[in-house]
Amino acid sequence: MKYQLLIKKIFPLFIVAISLTSLNLQAAIFITPKQPAISAASYVLLDYNSGVTIASNKPHEKHAPASLTKLMTAYVVFQLITDGRASLEDDVKISEKAWKTMGSKSFVEVGKTIKLKILLKGMIIQSGNDAAVALAEHIAGTEGTFTAYMNEYALGLGMHNTRFENASGLDLNDQHTTASDMAKLAAATIRDFPEFYPWYSEKEFTYHDIKQRNRNKLLWSDNTVDGLKTGFTDKAGYNLVASANRMGMRLISVVLGSSGVKERTSQTQKILDYGFRFFETKNIGNISQSVPIASSTKDTLKVGLKNSKAITLARGKYKLSQQAIELNAGLSAPIKKGESVGNLVIKFEGKTIAKLPLVALEDAAEAGFFSQIWSWIMSLLGF
């Protein structure tokens, strides 16, 4: 048997039974709109805080990553700096291989020594392939060894459909990723390295008096966008991983295999606008509610969420939702603080839209034998 307790004090919400005067209005609010038509080979739209994928098409299809590869190159370097194995002030000597690397350049010179911070910002902001190779060689000795680090971190982040073969993103036969995997990497970058993430929003990079602009055009046209990375090769097409923060909601979009710079920008803008317009993130705080507890020295037990949780819902849906606590069947003392006791269930129109695990917020000792007998007698008498 499950106890169900309506929670009216936890959230200042309306109940589902509130009637709307127009069925058309209700449909307009609560029927999730069709995903927009996105002109790209593959895409994903992810709610950063809840981890919910709002929209996608072929999210696990493999594609050449192009310069999106540099997101992982940077991630590895960030991690080693955090671990104390590298420093922003490291002197990095530029090899002939790094200097000769084709494609976009930070215009580093062979034999010169450059601070790691300058190379890192050049790779992130201006997408220098030469900077990427120089960083890889400095960290691991060779670019090949560095890619082993990249693939190890990719597996650790759950990027199971990704393989890196170089640090720059230049096309190689077995280098590939997916929209889903790139969304995971972008989320990890934002989460794990908040001190470095602002670099992805910088619009220009200057080295040797050569000023180059960030290729993410959304940084100029949408002030809620603060990252992350573009990419292009003939094999990959035009790629863009972006993130935007509006009204306390952060979304991450990945568009792979678009047909041009304007197209990857406009299609990214379209999918981001769709997510912000029709969805919202709700953070469920650290609630505390007393529930009945059997066979205990106390009559009630305080329960709640171990940590706050974020959920993603269609806009307006949460206001008319209903929250209830469902306790585990046969719940009785003894119970230790932190032990699972049931779920907070959020429903809309009778359908469960979220189920969040609840834990005991305190210990509940088991009552003695005679106390339990007395409680049983009193319950029979209706007390």
Give the pairing of strands 42-47 and 113-115. Answer: unpaired
Tokens of 87: 């420093």
Helices 143-156, 69-82: axis angle to 10 degrees equals: 90
CA separation for the pair 28, 14 (Å, rounded): 18
**Catalytic residue at 127?**
yes
Per 3-state DSSP, the chain is made up of helix, strand and coil in percentages (nearest 5) of 30, 30, 40
User: Which entry of 50, 56, 70, 217 is annotated as an active-site residue?
Assistant: 70
Tokens of 110: 């062979």
Tokens of 83: 């671990």
CA separation for the pair 81, 285 (Å, rounded): 34
Angle at the Cα of 271 from the Cα atoms of 270 and 276, rounded to 5 degrees: 100
β-pair partners for 124: none
CA separation for the pair 362, 339 (Å, rounded): 9
User: Which entry of 42, 67, 104, 168 is annotated as an active-site residue?
Assistant: 67
Tell me if 125 sits within 8 A of 219, measured CB to CB: no
DSSP state of 320: G
Peptide bond into 12 cis (omega under 30): no
β-pair partners for 161: none
User: What's the full length of the chain, in residues?
Assistant: 383
**Catalytic residue at 67?**
yes
User: Which entry of 127, 168, 266, 321 is annotated as an active-site residue?
Assistant: 127
CA proximity to 364, closest of 328, 340, 333, 331: 333
- What is the DSSP annotation of 196-261? TGGGGG--EEEETTEEEE-S-THHHH-TTEEEEEEEEETTTEEEEEEEEEETTEEEEEEEEEESSH
Q: In which residue are the tokens 């209700």 written? A: 26
Name the phi and psi angles at 186, rounded to 5: -60, -45
Tell me if 66 sits within 8 A of 169, measured CB to CB: yes
**Catalytic residue at 70?**
yes
Q: Which positions are annotated as active-site residues?
A: 67, 70, 127
